[in-house]
Chains A and B, each alone.
Chain A
């Protein structure tokens, strides 16, 4: 269960973005996670509130976008979907493929609340 460590690292990245943009608080966070990154979306969701407590992101919603595994075949050049433990070409069945998606573990969007505009 390394998802708590991952969430703590995520909160660190989010707070950096929030501070750079003078945020009062973070409203929502979007991350992209592929099955070959080694993290489980469900466990991340459970660990997130623990990691976020007492931070600028304490009340932020977390959206996890799952990136499906895709491979490009070195033989026939087809780009197809694949299972994490069966990384073979979906067209010709060759196992000499390059993984082109599914390894991601990235923060993609942060929505923040800043100071209300001053009233004149």
Chain B
């Protein structure tokens, strides 16, 4: 509910007393504040979102483990849309331009953010990347986050929707193991379902149950990039979101 306002914390007097401070020379003052620790990131994220809205761009943040198929999903989506929407991609990785090169090979502009050793994208990194990526005329900006089921969940980038991927080879208990990440999702994609006949350990029903246990209330689509009903449902979700963004912020 209120992660930043402190309303769940109760009166200040109930909190633990300070440990004795050492070597005090001046006057000591105690200042009670309720400030979001990531307030500065949230401020930049809100600025990014305004920037997207001014251009009527829908911004989607893709998160998952490394290898769950984020880039492959984007490649298949670009091919399937066949120019119906104008797309661009911001790629986040610790190192290499590999993913941006894959997207560019599909004819879509891509900016690679290499984070060094940082395990997540933050709002400032995305803001800086936007300097190299004109938003005018775009319909959808995909932000492919660093492959990681922990850290990216804590940082708002200014996106309109979070999409989290869970691939069949990872196992159906991932939502139970990484509840913060899966709770952050607006759409959950169970990917690589063409492997279900071989990886019989994965139960789609158990994945749904694990999602229910963490209070996930969003939509879930099971798909393979090779086409079929699931992939069509993903494209339909995308079209609905683009239409909703156009209705929200007419160009």
A residues with a Cβ closer than 8 A to B are 1-2, 5-6, 9-10, 12-13, 17, 21, 23-24, 27-28, 30-32, 34, 36-39, 59, 61, 63, 65, 67, 70, 84-88, 95, 97-117
CA distance A39 to B181 in the complex (A): 12
Check if B244 is an interface residue, CB within 8 A of chain A: no
6 A-B pairs besides A38-B153, A113-B26 with CB distance below 8 A are: A13-B37, A28-B18, A34-B8, A104-B4, A104-B8, A115-B26
Interface 9-residue window, one of B90-98, B164-172, B207-215, B230-238: B207-215
Shortest C-beta distance, B64 to chain A (Å), equals 15
Residues of B within 8 A of A114 (CB): 26-29
Residues of B within 8 Å of A, CB-based: how many? 54
Shortest C-beta distance, A79 to chain B (Å), equals 11
Asked if residues B179 and A85 are in contact (CB atoms below 8 Å), the reply is yes
Check if B82 is an interface residue, CB within 8 A of chain A: no
Check if B35 is an interface residue, CB within 8 A of chain A: yes
Shortest C-beta distance, A100 to chain B (Å), equals 5
Residues of A within 8 A of B243 (CB): none
Asked if residues A108 and B1 are in contact (CB atoms below 8 Å), the reply is no
CA distance A110 to B16 in the complex (A): 13
Asked if residues B6 and A104 are in contact (CB atoms below 8 Å), the reply is yes
CA distance A12 to B41 in the complex (A): 11
**Residue from A10, A39, A115 within 8 A of B154 (CB atoms):** A39
Residues of B within 8 A of A31 (CB): 37
Residues of A within 8 A of B219 (CB): none
CA distance A100 to B8 in the complex (A): 7
Asked if residues B6 and A103 are in contact (CB atoms below 8 Å), the reply is no
Q: A85-B213, A105-B3 are in contact. Are A32 and B9 (CB under 8 A)?
A: yes
CA distance A88 to B180 in the complex (A): 15
Asked if residues A113 and B24 are in contact (CB atoms below 8 Å), the reply is yes
Instruction: List the 6 closest pairs (A to B, CB-CB), nearest first.
Output: A2-B151, A101-B8, A103-B3, A38-B180, A87-B215, A38-B154
